Amino acid sequence: MSSLREYKRKRRFDVTSEPPPEKKASKSGQIFVVQKHRASQLHYDFRLEAQGVLKSWAVPKGPALDPKVKRLAMAVEDHPLDYALFEGVIPEGEYGGGTVMVWDFGTYKPEETRDVSAALRAGELKFTLQGKKLKGSWTLVRTRDRSWLLIKHRDRYASEKDITESAPLSAVTGRTLAEIAEEEGGNVERAATGDPPALLLRSKRAARRTARPRRGKEAQRTRLA
């Protein structure tokens, strides 16, 4: 099954520093990642490892810890495992052009099933997250076509706190979106609009510093542990 064909078709790997399609598994076989992505619209990409790829959803408002809040999650193309720790800048004009932050990562465990792919095909997966920010029990349920809902279950990690506001920095480098843009040669002003108000000062400082454009290939790419 070439589930990475769409991923490959949408990208030019001589231009973007995103990893080329390569199917393989992580050590645990069950990693998850949430990438904050300032493209034409700010969104959060939620990804779960299954069968050697990252099953992926774009969540416009990001995850919510409040079980009463159902967050729209649009299914998008599978991504390669190496994408999990991609943090950097996709050149403007390319597919998904903008700044990408590893907002959270860790491992997950499916609940009530061992066959994640089958559960996803059936349109509902319950799982427990062990991330740096997101923990506890969640569900992804399909409503129609590519539309899913990402919902927190009631447990001790449920909260009305807005986690995207309270924990806005990169889980791997501690940077704001604007700082990632600055250091990887992206559009700092545009990336700054993805930072929460509390970080505006820090972002404005980043924006004032002279951003030296760098080649995309220099963008950070950490290997999976």
Interface residues with Mn ion (CB under 5 A) are 37, 45
Nearer to Mn ion by C-beta: 45 or 183? 45
Query: Measured from the CB of residue 35, what is the shortest distance to Mn ion in angstroms?
Result: 7
Nearer to Mn ion by C-beta: 119 or 180? 180
Query: Measured from the CB of residue 210, what is the shortest distance to Mn ion in angstroms?
Result: 28
Query: Measured from the CB of residue 33, what is the shortest distance to Mn ion in angstroms?
Result: 12
d(CA 206, CA 183): 9
Q: Is 225 helix (H, G, I), strand (E, B) or coil?
A: coil
Partners of 33 in beta bridges: 47, 105
Cα–Cα nearest to 31, from 107, 128, 126: 107
Nearer to Mn ion by C-beta: 90 or 119? 90
Query: Measured from the CB of residue 22, what is the shortest distance to Mn ion in angstroms?
Result: 19
Q: Which residue is nearest to Mn ion (CB)?
A: 37
Nearer to Mn ion by C-beta: 73 or 192? 73
What are the CA-CA distances from residue 187 to residues 17, 166, 167, 209 (Å)?
A: 16, 24, 22, 12
Please list, in sequence order, all residues whose beta carbon lies within 8 angstroms of the beta carbon of residue 29, skipping any fewer than 6 positions away: 49
